[in-house]
A and B are shown apart, each in its own frame.
Chain A
Amino acid sequence: MPYIAHDAAETAAMLAAVGVERLDQLFDEIPPVLQVQDMALPEGLSEMALQRELEGRALANAPLRCFAGGGAYAHHIPAIVWEIAGRGEFYSAYTPYQAEASQGTLQVIYEYQSFITRLTGLEVSNASLYDGASGLAEACLMALRIQGGDKSILVPENLLPGWRRVLDSVLGLQDIRLVSVPYDRATGTLILPADAGDAAALIIPQSNALGLLEPVDALTDWAHAHGLLAIAVVNPLALALLKAPGVWGTQGADMAVGEGQPLGIPLSGGGPYFGFLACRKAQVRQLPGRLVAKTVDGQGREGFCLTLQAREQHIRRGKATSNICTNQGLMVTAATIHMAALGGYGLQQTAVLCHERAVRLRELLAGVPGVSLPYGGAFFHEFVVRLPHAAVAVRDALLGYGLLAGLPLSDWGMGEAGDLLVCATELLEEADLLAYRGALTSVLETL
């Protein structure tokens, strides 16, 4: 019996101790009409057969060289990251409620919080939310609690559309209005809104969905001048290069939120990733999710424990700052080891490499006949190319060359039909970039 230890004698002895004869008598309080004998499930497989079947499924996914980003990025993950994160002591532990028996997980989270506060330039980071987009929804709810009374959030039209949809569904449940802030179709960056209405916060994406860098200082100052909070949406790897949200504008952004996946998390078809959320200490009581603090035990030994739990659902129930309980713990463990393994130096080097590869690729693709560059602004590692054919068709044709060429903006209802969002990371070598140019040239010739 897979994963069950009992032999017949043991089962019999245990049944006797309980005072029943058969296993199904243990369910005698359940009305018989509710009990079913069989379910439409397949027969079980041996481990060997299971492996064979799933290896087949894995191979049915085309292996592609990845030039797609849009919130999920292909990066190198040092071998030690998952070697350690996969250890049973991390992998199979529960949430660290029993602090004395969870010092490993707790210290990892504390170190994670320390890393995130340094990347973002803010004072407090929670222990993770489900992903970047749901993290942004939580940040908006937090801003509304802090501001009190306000009923809307200013949302840029060049925020990743997948994130916007999450805001629509989560914030819509509480009848919170999302007011769109348009972007300049010529530059791709945000236009400062005329007025702030009854908004609690302005969301500032760095970079935006088109890969472009926004004038974050001016946007942050505008938000503060109008009594709004500034919520920075950032890529944690880019923060190794870019100005930390905590020092945007004259006062700094109030919160920073983002998708943690670039920090050692495999693409895995879309998850599990993790969302990070950092804020100022003055606002920590409105922060959703777990938080770890350093303290001492009765003998004065340093140790770590969960803190400010009165914010959370297991104590505050309906009045909690969020319903989140299970978070993305193991992803945070991996991200912490990833940041430590790369070090500050390695993170900066990786970020610089991503940027250089993207600059180079953009230059190469712009040289392909018929391809143009709609935007001229600065970017980190993603940019838009305008193709002379529908980007969807070109993307599909390039699958045949073993390339995931990028994301057609038309899938998001943005830009023009020929616009393709392309990303380059440190994984791509010069030969890969040249291969992309070659493949694109041939595809455009034949389409």
Chain B
Amino acid sequence: MSKIPETLRYSDTHEWVEDLGGGRYRVGITDHAQELLGDLVFVEAPEADKAIRAGAVCGVLESVKAAADLYAPLDGTVVERNDGLGDNPQWLNEDPYGQGWIMVVEADASAGDGLMDAAAYAKIAEV
């Protein structure tokens, strides 16, 4: 079973969102997503200052055997990107909720309203 931390919220496209307070949110992909994709070898995430829209494609994830779009889980503006992933895409496999975070987004307090809690996401990740 993949890990689904209780403290985070989730999109149905397998991104997690952590509320950092002050209108800032950290974003990454779930443990389940990295398991599906296999060994990740490349991540393309939006640069700082880029506006993203919930549900829209904002980047690319490539593994040895698959390629997947990265979807924005909420509306907002990117303020920070994890540039370490450029040389260390394996962080997404090894530590998807920690070192493998993808970006920090600035957004309204209501931006994440459509997201799921851990229990709801667990139902999606099971099937």
* A interface residue numbers (CB < 8 A to B): 285, 308-310, 315-316, 319
Is there contact, CB below 8 Å, between B64 and A309?
Answer: yes
Contacts of A285 in B (CB 8 A): 42
Contacts of B62 in A (CB 8 A): 308, 310
Minimum C-beta distance from B124 to chain A (A): 24
Contacts of B65 in A (CB 8 A): 309-310, 315
Is there contact, CB below 8 Å, between B67 and A316?
Answer: yes
Cβ-closest 8 pairs across A and B: A310-B67, A310-B62, A316-B67, A315-B67, A315-B66, A310-B66, A285-B42, A315-B65
Contacts of A319 in B (CB 8 A): 67
* B interface residue numbers (CB < 8 A to A): 41-42, 62-67
> How far is A319 from B62 in the complex, measured between Cα atoms in Å?
13
Ordered by A's residue number, 11 sampled pairs between the chains whose C-beta atoms are within 8 Å are A308-B41, A308-B42, A309-B64, A310-B62, A310-B63, A310-B64, A310-B65, A310-B67, A315-B67, A316-B67, A319-B67
Contacts of A315 in B (CB 8 A): 65-67
> How far is A198 from B66 in the complex, measured between Cα atoms in Å?
34
Contacts of B66 in A (CB 8 A): 310, 315
Minimum C-beta distance from B86 to chain A (A): 11
Minimum C-beta distance from A320 to chain B (A): 9
Contacts of A309 in B (CB 8 A): 64-65
Contacts of B67 in A (CB 8 A): 310, 315-316, 319
> How far is A125 from B39 in the complex, measured between Cα atoms in Å?
24
Contacts of A308 in B (CB 8 A): 41-42, 62
Contacts of B42 in A (CB 8 A): 285, 308, 310
> How far is A265 from B56 in the complex, measured between Cα atoms in Å?
48
> How far is A224 from B125 in the complex, measured between Cα atoms in Å?
48
Contacts of A310 in B (CB 8 A): 41-42, 62-67
Minimum C-beta distance from A281 to chain B (A): 13
> How far is A56 from B67 in the complex, measured between Cα atoms in Å?
53
Contacts of B41 in A (CB 8 A): 308, 310
Given contacts A285-B42, A309-B64, A310-B62, 16 further A-B contacts (CB under 8 A): A308-B41, A308-B42, A308-B62, A309-B65, A310-B41, A310-B42, A310-B63, A310-B64, A310-B65, A310-B66, A310-B67, A315-B65, A315-B66, A315-B67, A316-B67, A319-B67
Minimum C-beta distance from A304 to chain B (A): 15
> How far is A315 from B65 in the complex, measured between Cα atoms in Å?
7
> How far is A285 from B60 in the complex, measured between Cα atoms in Å?
11
> How far is A316 from B62 in the complex, measured between Cα atoms in Å?
10
> How far is A285 from B44 in the complex, measured between Cα atoms in Å?
11
Most B-side CB within 10 Å, residue of A308, A309, A310, A316: A310
Minimum C-beta distance from A100 to chain B (A): 15
> How far is A308 from B65 in the complex, measured between Cα atoms in Å?
9
> How far is A287 from B65 in the complex, measured between Cα atoms in Å?
17
